[in-house]
Amino acid sequence: MNLQLALDRLTKEECLGILADTNESVDWIEVGTGVIKEYGMTIVKEIRETYPKSVIVADMKTCDAGRHEAIQAFEAGADITTVMAFSADQTIKDMLEVSRRYKTRVMVDLLGVDDKQRIHQLSQLGIDLVSLHFGKDMQKNGSIDHHLFDLISDHSGLEVAVAGGINLESLPNILPYQPDTLIVGEQSRIMRIAVRLHRKSRRSSRNMKQTIHTVAYEISQVLANVKEEEAMKLSQSLEKAKRIFIVGEGRSGLMGKAFAMRLMHAGYQVYVIGETITPSVEHGDLLLAISGSGSTQSICQFAEKAKRKEAEVAAVTTNADSQLAKLSDHLLVIPAATKKRRSEEPDTIQPLGNQFDQSLHLLLDAVIIYTLDQSKQTNNEEMTARHANLE
């Protein structure tokens, strides 16, 4: 049984990131209709270039102009293109003719078909691959069940793919019919299980481009799950603080220093804890304490001291229940993986706390950009003037 990954209603970056993380766990890659409408054949070509040995399904859902659209799909690198069952017979014939020339295949989407006679007609035309499709909008009022298979029960020679909200609950009703291909989305539990099994069975072998796409996708997913109100609260705290102090250890500390540098360029009075010119903290100051785990003892101790001096403490961490989070006045949670690899952390191909550190850097840059946009107190020319010139 094939596992087909459907990439739909996603950005190009999300598609490429998902594929980099899952391609070795799937048999067929489907470029969904919505993605094709957004990016055209360009994304099919890019996926073909990146995964030259994969079976690619271009879900064109052709209704007319079959010859032209089939050529488009196959020239872009698709192995299979789709046509709607309600299309004119001539449309389907034209697509089959093109597929024979390109040595590719045509899959008929049976969405909306409930007449067995149409299945017979398709078989007579030469169709040997169909998709039993329980549509996205149909899923709002029900779920896929065995009745869908009644449509093709008299045609044992057809290769059958099944799509439409397949999950672990509906799967037991589908498997007895032994479909040739299961079509699932990137967020389905079936897909996640398949990926985990593959990772356990053997180490993934990615080329450089795939690795880059995976890292970019991971970070985009982490940042998409940051709570906007928490980031805005940090921005407000920066604006009202008399002085800003920043502390972090290791790579997190380096990201903190990068943040401090930009704040200096923007005209803020900012210090990094541990530097020889850092003054004492006092009432009205802000301490930004950074720790991926939220349990780094030295960082927690600095937070406790700052609180005793009546300074405000803002914490950036992955763990909202950590010691550091409990010590802070304001909390910015970055839902990224750390070296602790807690069960609630997202998957990552990266070592240790890379995912957190990268997300931290980009998020703090976004906070600066937002803060400066809101305050309108400085511009790029003024920041450039504050940039170091003894270098």
Final residue of a domain: which of 214, 236, 251?
A: 214
Residue 379 pLDDT grade (very low, low, confident, very high; cuts 50, 70, 90): confident
Pair (178, 286) in one structural domain: no
Q: Say which residue, 33 or 338, is predicted with more confidence.
A: 33
Q: Check whether 113 has a pLDDT greater than 50.
A: yes
| Residue 293 and residue 160 share a domain | no
Please say if the pLDDT value at position 213 is more than 50: yes
* Low-confidence winner among 97-106, 215-224, 319-328, 349-358 (lowest mean pLDDT): 215-224
Q: Give per-residue pLDDT as tens, 55-70.
A: 999 999 999 999 999 9
Exposure letters 238-257 (e unless 16+ CB within 10 A, then b): beebebbbbbbbebbbebbe
pLDDT grade for 200, boundaries at 50, 70 and 90: very low
Strands 181-185 and 244-248: unpaired
Within-domain flag for 334: yes
Asked if 159 and 54 sit in the same domain, the reply is yes
Average pLDDT, the chain: 86
Q: How confident is the model at residue 376 (pLDDT cuts 50, 70, 90)?
A: confident
Helix (H, G, I), strand (E, B) or coil at 79: coil
- Is 50 exceeded by the pLDDT of residue 30? yes
Residue 199 has pLDDT above 80, yes or no: no
Query: Stretch 322-351: mean pLDDT, rounded?
Result: 88
pLDDT computed for residue 135 by the predictor: 52
In the chain, where does DSSP find H-type helix?
12-22, 33-39, 41-50, 66-76, 89-102, 116-125, 171-174, 189-201, 208-224, 228-240, 250-265, 297-308, 323-327, 354-375, 380-386
Q: Is residue 50 part of a domain?
A: yes
Whole-number Å distance between alpha carbons of 234 and 243: 14
> Residues 171, 259: one domain?
no
Q: Are residues 297 and 368 in the same domain?
A: yes
Tokens of residue 130, six digits:
């169909």
| CB crowding 116-135: b at 16 or more within 10 Å, else e | eeebeebbeeebebbbbbbe
- Mean pLDDT, rounded, for 146-174: 74
- The confidence score (pLDDT) of residue 136 equals 60
Q: Are residues 136 and 264 in the same domain?
A: no
Percent residues over pLDDT 90 in the chain: 54
In the chain, the amino acid numbered 227 is K
Question: Phi, psi at residue 271, to the nearest 5°?
Answer: -135, 150
Q: What is the pLDDT of residue 143?
A: 58
Do 40 and 189 have their domain in common? yes
The pLDDT value recorded for residue 172 is: 66
pLDDT value at 242 more than 70: yes
Confidence of residue 139 (pLDDT cuts 50, 70, 90): low
DSSP 37-60: HHHTHHHHHHHHHH-TTSEEEEEE
Q: What is the largest CA-CA distance in the chain?
A: 85
Among residues 347, 322, 317, 335, the alpha carbon closest in space to that of 252 is found at 317
Task: Please say if the pLDDT value at position 201 is more than 50.
Answer: no
Distance CA 5, CA 289 (A): 41
Residue 391 placed within a domain: no
**Lowest mean pLDDT across 82-96, 176-190, 327-341:** 176-190
Buried b or exposed e, range 292-307, using 16+ CB within 10 angstroms: bbbebeebbebbeebb
CATH number at residue 286: 3.40.50.10490
Check whether residue 165 and residue 263 sit in a common domain.
Answer: no
Instruction: Please determine, for residue 302, whether its predicted confidence score (pLDDT) is greater than 70.
Output: yes
pLDDT at residue number 202: 39
In a domain, 115, yes or no: yes
3-state secondary structure of 269: coil
Residue 214 has pLDDT above 90, yes or no: no
Distance CA 258, CA 276 (A): 17
> Where a domain ends, among 193, 214, 235?
214
pLDDT of residue 204: 46
User: Which whole number is the average pLDDT over 156-168?
Assistant: 77
Distance CA 137, CA 141 (A): 8
**pLDDT, greater one: 159 or 58:** 58
Assess whether pLDDT exceeds 90 at residue 36: yes
Instruction: Determine the pLDDT at residue 61.
Output: 95
17: nearest Cα among 188, 214, 222: 214
Same domain, 111 and 78: yes
Instruction: Give the pLDDT score at 189.
Output: 52
Task: Tell me, yes or no, whether 200 and 230 share the same domain.
Answer: no
- Does residue 219 sit within a domain? no
Q: Please give the structure tokens belonging to residue 200.
A: 């356990």
Provide mean pLDDT across the span 159-186: 75
Q: What is the pLDDT of residue 142?
A: 57
Looking at the structure, tell me whether residues 153 and 236 fall in a common domain.
Answer: no
Q: Edge to edge, what strands does the sheet with 270-272 contain?
A: 270-272, 244-248, 286-290, 312-317, 330-333
Q: Please report, rounded to a whole number, the percentage of residues in the chain having pLDDT higher than 70.
A: 88
Domain boundary among 184, 214, 244: 214
Query: Based on the domain organization, do 49 and 190 belong to the same domain?
Result: yes
Residue 146 CB-half CA count within 13 A? 6
Residue 193 has pLDDT above 60, yes or no: no
Domain containing residue 102: CATH number = 3.20.20.70
In a domain, 136, yes or no: yes
Quote the number of domains for the chain.
2
Give the least confident one: 124-133, 198-207, 296-305, 360-369: 198-207
Residues 171-177: what's their mean pLDDT?
A: 72
CA distances for 98 relative to 32, 105, 128, angstroms: 21, 9, 15
Instruction: Give me the pLDDT at residue 168, please.
Output: 63
Residue 339 structure tokens: 């070296």
> Per-residue pLDDT averaged across 116-130, rounded?
91
Question: Tokens for 216?
Answer: 């970019």
Q: What is the span of the domain harbouring residue 285? A: 225-386
Residue 220 lies in a domain: no
